[in-house]
């Protein structure tokens, strides 16, 4: 009987997906709702999406949260993620229980391999949530391995700044390069800034070498021609000691919007 009950719920959910693809939103909602009320987590998640986006039913964020929560506590990773985001966005700041429930849900979703949850958790820990930056690096690395270029960029930041790991500029550059190659604009900008910083460093080093040269000691008293025989200053032209804007922590920690497929997403 339980197998039959589950099979009916699965069939209703699939039928709801077909209705949604055909833009028969009310019929889709009806199928999802029937399957959700039978306890099927994927249908519960889809009902949550219908309420969140107003598909086939009037938009109702509170009811969306209700169905996300039901699916979340049955182990649906995307429902856990959406439920956690809702809690963090809407829960009163004084209610720490709601915040810790959100973190627990994100931890569960991240453990199940959901890249969005891993990236979100990484940023939360990086911004100061305890136990802090060591945990941040763990989740950012997981998300980066799953192909999230923004998390790969943040891993580079951790290595450059020494967040949760000893500073290692070579390792930071490697992660920036990988993120930049994937089209991440923040990483591309950081690579350009690092290149400029290197040029600035060369300019400063060259200027110091020039100013410490014995030739400058006799510049006023010696013949001008001997200076030109001793030095070729052409390589110093155009190299200025301009400062490169510092990498702002607030920009690094800004959570990038996560993009989802349009319509009803089933997982």
Over residues 89-135, the pLDDT tens digits come to 876 664 677 788 999 999 999 999 999 999 999 999 998 887 788 89
Whether 225 maps to a domain, the answer reads no
Whether 233 maps to a domain, the answer reads no
- CATH code for position 80: 1.25.40.10
Question: Where is average pLDDT lowest: 74-78, 135-139, 171-175, 259-263?
Answer: 259-263
Query: How is 150-168 classified by DSSP, letter by letter?
Result: HHHHHHHHHHHHTSSS---
Please state at what angle helix 77-90 crosses helix 115-126, rounded to 10 degrees: 30
Q: Where is pLDDT greater, at 238 or 60?
A: 60
Is residue 242 pLDDT above 60, yes or no? no
Is residue 224 pLDDT above 80, yes or no? no
99 and 141: one domain? Answer: no
The pLDDT assigned to 46 comes to 97
Tokens 């219908």 sit on residue: 50
101 and 137: one domain? Answer: no
Chain centroid to Cα 43, Å, comes to 28
How many helices (H) and strands (E) the chain has is answered by 13, 0
Question: pTM of this prediction?
Answer: 0.70
Token representation of residue 212: 């410490």
81 and 155: one domain? Answer: no
Whether 229 maps to a domain, the answer reads no
CA-closest candidate to residue 15, choices 39, 55, 46, 53: 46
Between the two ends of the chain, the Cα-to-Cα distance in Å is 25
Cα–Cα distance for residue pair 224/230, rounded to 1 Å = 10
253 and 124: one domain? Answer: yes
120 and 67: one domain? Answer: no
CA-closest candidate to residue 150, choices 247, 249, 258: 258
70 and 143: one domain? Answer: no
Q: Looking at the 3D structure of the chain, how many domains does it have?
A: 2
pLDDT band at 208 (very low <50, low <70, confident <90, very high): low
C-alpha separations of 126 from 14, 178, 249, 255 in Å:
40, 21, 10, 11
Domain of 27?
1-112
Cα–Cα distance for residue pair 30/20, rounded to 1 Å = 11
The pLDDT assigned to 198 comes to 82
CA-closest candidate to residue 109, choices 171, 27, 168, 45: 45
Contacts 24+ apart (CB under 8 A), 99-103: 103/129
- Please state, rounded to an integer, the average pLDDT across all residues of the chain: 78
């Amino acid at each position: 009987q339980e197998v039959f009950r589950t099979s009916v719920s699965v069939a209703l959910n699939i039928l709801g997906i077909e209705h949604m693809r055909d833009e028969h939103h009310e019929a889709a909602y009806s199928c999802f709702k029937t399957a959700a009320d039978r306890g099927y987590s994927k249908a519960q998640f889809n009902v949550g999406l219908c309420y969140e986006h107003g598909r086939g039913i009037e938009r109702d964020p509170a009811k969306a949260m209700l169905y996300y929560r039901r699916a979340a506590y049955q182990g649906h990773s995307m429902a856990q993620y959406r439920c956690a985001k809702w809690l963090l966005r809407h829960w009163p700041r004084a209610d720490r229980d709601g915040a810790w429930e959100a973190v627990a849900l994100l931890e569960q979703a991240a453990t199940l391999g959901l890249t969005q949850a891993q990236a979100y958790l990484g940023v939360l820990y990086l911004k100061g949530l305890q136990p802090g930056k060591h945990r941040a690096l763990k989740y950012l690395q997981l998300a980066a391995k799953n192909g999230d270029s923004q998390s790969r960029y943040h891993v580079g930041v951790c290595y450059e700044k020494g967040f949760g790991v000893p500073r290692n500029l070579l390792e930071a550059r490697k992660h920036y390069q990988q993120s930049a190659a994937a089209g991440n604009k923040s990483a591309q900008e950081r690579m350009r800034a690092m290149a400029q910083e290197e040029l600035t460093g060369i300019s400063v080093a060259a200027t110091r070498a020039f100013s410490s040269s014995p030739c400058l000691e006799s510049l006023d008293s010696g013949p001008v021609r001997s200076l030109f025989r001793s030095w070729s200053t052409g390589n110093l032209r155009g190299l200025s000691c301009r400062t490169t804007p510092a990498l702002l922590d607030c920009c690094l920690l800004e959570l990038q919007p996560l993009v989802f497929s349009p319509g009803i997403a089933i997982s």
